[in-house]
Every structure is written in structure tokens, then in C-alpha cells.
Amino acid sequence: MLIKRIITAVVLASVAVLAIFELPTLYFSLFIAIITLLGAWEWLALTDVDSKPKRIQFLVLLILPMLGVTYWTVFLELLGDALEWPEVKDYSDALEWLVIAPVLFWIVTMILIRNAGGQLLAMAFSPRFKAFVGWLVLLSAWMFLVKLRAYYGSAMVLYFLLLIWAADVSAFFAGKKWGKTKLAPDISPGKTVQGMYGALVSALVCGIALRLYYGLAPLEAEEAQIAILMSVDILFLSVLTVLVSIYGDLFFSLVKRKKGVKDSGNLLPGHGGILDRIDSVIAAAPFFYAGIVLIGRSVFA
């Protein structure tokens, strides 16, 4: 089983890296959309939506805003190029305000899971509420991962994914070695506070590694000050992003436990379903994007 998990993980990571660096923005958007829709199909199964017409309706309600966001952005870019009016592209920044909703959702979810995990397991939620939550978290993850690639480049997307992957691996080994205190025993008995600390330490290491990769601060005083501020901000954002990703994992574990299943599906050998692999990314993507936007505006304002 371990060998199967490793092989699948290597293949998935290789495909992801190739997509990040080789696909044009439009095709990268389509690639992430396909993964999102596969995850949406699993979400519907986890939330007891068995009717095919209702499932198709849910997918359509995901696809339509995806098309709207994609073609709105492309239209503005083409219009700006055609009119030689680069400021017209700034209208696409209006979409950035949409990041507030998923960020607030995940903050509230973290608080609820931390303080009332057992009660959440016992609560019954309406089908419409579950559909809305799935729509919100899946659409926002797609949107802001694509925008991260489009506006901040492939390297930033790779850093974000490496951050999540390093946290997962570190949490696993730290939990195995030192894990004693359960993080959320009612939801996921295997996760420990010590494993969480291991993940947060990995975030610090990733942030430091990113700074070292881009070199030491420039010699000029103003540039050095900006570099130091960005380094501190990136470290802080990396730790918070990993923290959110951990609770994103717990959120989907909560949904699976309410359903009475271990995995969201069986599409990926040794790993389960699509949601089992992207649960942390779904939660962390809008949070990380919002942080990058704020860092850029605060440092260069």
C-alpha cells in the first residue's frame, strides 16, 4: 500500500508541475477546472445527492461562473491590448474582492472545528446548505488558484503547492514520532497537535528557503527594507496558510465521517478520491492568494 501511495503521489506531483509550467493560462484554468469538477462529483456523493439531474445541475452552476470569470479576464486583456489602454485590465481586480467570502468561511470553520467538533458531527444540515458550501469552496479554490498563476506566475503556484505538500509530509512523520495529543479526536483520531506543529515548522522552513532561493537583500537601503518586510510577511503567510490547510483537511474529514466513509472516492490508487488529495489545497488557495495580494499592496503602496 505504501509503495502504491508513493508511486501515485509522484505521478500526481509530476503532472501538477508540468501543468503549472507548461500549460498556457487558459489551458491551466481548464486543467484545474476538470480536477474541481471531479471533486464536485465526489462532494455530491458525500452529501447524499444521488439524483443525476441534481448532480448535473450542480456541475452546471459551477461551470457557468468558471466560464464567466475566464472570459471576463480574457476579454479585458484583449481589450486593453487592442486599445493600448492597460488600465482597463484593472477592472479584473474587482474579482479579488470575492476572496473575502471563502476566507471568512474557512476562518469560521477553523473556530467551529476547534471548539465544537463533536457537536458538528451531531448536527443535521439541509441539502441546500451543503450544496452551497460545496459550491463556494470548490469555485473559490479554482478561481484563486488560477488567478495566482495568471497574476503572480508559475513559481508562486509551485511554492504554494510545495508548502502544502511539505506540511502534509511533516505532519505525518511528526505525528508518528511524537504524536500524543489528539487535534480533533471526534473528527480525525489520527491527527495530533504534535503533527500540526511539525507542519507549521515546515512552513517556516519553506518560507526561509524561498528567501534564500531569491538571494540576500539588495544593498540599497530602500530595497533591503522591502525585501526584509516581504520575507517576514511570507513567513507569516506561509504559517497561516498551512494552519488553514490543516483545518481544510479536518473539514473534509468531518464530511466523510458524517457520511460514514474513509475516503471520498477510489479514483487514485492508494490515496482514495480527488477530494482526499486536494482538501488542504481547497481551503488554503483563497487564503494564500488574499495574503499575496495584501503583501504586494502593503509593501509597494
Percent with pLDDT over 70 in the chain: 83
CB 271 within 8 A of CB 5: yes
DSSP lists the bridge partners of residue 272 as 268
The letter for the amino acid at 30 is L
DSSP class of residue 260 equals T
Q: Tell me the three cell numbers of residue 270.
A: 492508494
Q: Tell me the three cell numbers of residue 175.
A: 505525528
Amino acid 192: pLDDT: 94
pTM tops 0.85? yes
d(CA 53, CA 217) in angstroms, rounded, equals 57
Of 135, 200, 213, nearest to 170 by C-alpha is 200
Of 279, 218, 216, nearest to 250 by C-alpha is 279
Amino acid 215: pLDDT: 62
pLDDT band at 301 (very low <50, low <70, confident <90, very high): very low
Give yes or no for residue 25 having a pLDDT over 70: yes
Question: Exposure of 84 by Cβ count < 10 A (0-12 exposed, 13-18 middle, 19+ buried)?
Answer: exposed
Q: What is the mean pLDDT of the chain?
A: 85
Give yes or no for residue 164 having a pLDDT over 70: yes
- Rg of the chain, C-alpha, whole Å: 20
Each residue's pLDDT tens digit, 275-288: 999 999 999 999 99
pLDDT band at 65 (very low <50, low <70, confident <90, very high): very high
Higher per-residue confidence, 174 vs 10:
174
Each residue's pLDDT tens digit, 82-136: 555 555 455 556 667 889 999 999 999 999 999 988 899 888 889 899 999 999 9
Higher per-residue confidence, 296 vs 192:
192
Give the mean model confidence (pLDDT) for residues 38-42: 95
Task: Report the length, in residues, of the chain.
Answer: 301
- What 3-state DSSP class applies to 192? strand
Give the mean model confidence (pLDDT) for residues 155-172: 94
Q: Tell me the three cell numbers of residue 267.
A: 479514483
d(CA 179, CA 193) in angstroms, rounded, equals 7
What's the CA angle centered on 131, arms 192 and 148, to 5 degrees? 65
Q: Choose the weakest-confidence range: 38-47, 85-94, 185-194, 197-206.
A: 85-94
Give the mean model confidence (pLDDT) for residues 216-231: 54
d(CA 260, CA 91) in angstroms, rounded, equals 45
Each residue's pLDDT tens digit, 137-156: 999 999 999 989 988 889 99
Give yes or no for residue 269 having a pLDDT over 80: no
Q: What are phi and psi of 298, to 5 degrees?
A: -75, -35
Q: Tell me the three cell numbers of residue 191.
A: 491527527
CB 171 within 8 A of CB 247: no
Amino acid 76: pLDDT: 57
